[in-house]
Structure 1
Amino acid sequence: MEVNLVTESIKFMVLGMTTVYLFLILLIYVLKFQAFIIQKYFSKKSESKSLSKKTEPANLHLGVVDNQNDETMLVAAITTAIAEYRKNS
């Protein structure tokens, strides 16, 4: 009788593991398909090209800072935040 229970438990284990494996494979393909659809219809390259053409002349007149200055400001803000945290600790 115990052999029968062990056999049944092995069958259920294999069935469960197979179900999980197949579900994960299906999930991978669905996510790949979703990424393909998003890249095809919602590509940021086309948006960024159209936005950069529209905003480039406006940036020159408004005096918008460049990326290097943005990074410098970000580093300064992080450094200040760390210094304040250390003062309060």
Structure 2
Amino acid sequence: MSERTRVVVVGGTSGIGRHFARFCAERGDDVVITGRSAARTKTVADEIGGSTRGLALDLAEPERIADALADVPHVDRLVVAALDRDHNT
């Protein structure tokens, strides 16, 4: 097992989740980002670089969350940055 900190960022493909994932990757953490689209999470993980990988995970389907994260054996830090904003004017 890696001696590095493992960070999972739910909602890591955009906004503050993406910025936080990049920060963690730059300091040498193992980072897993999630998003609804497998293709998008892979693209963003490749852009972030380091030891970052992407997993497709949709919080609107809670019955699938455990299976989606099954191959992440250990998590030191969990960040939930996914949110569905309303149009607040």
Name the TM tier (shorter chain): under 0.3
Greater strand share, 1 or 2?
2
- Where is the helix percentage greater, Structure 1 or Structure 2? 1
When the two structures are superposed, what TM-score results if normalisation uses the length of structure 2? 0.18
Q: Report the structure number with the largest CA radius of gyration.
A: 1
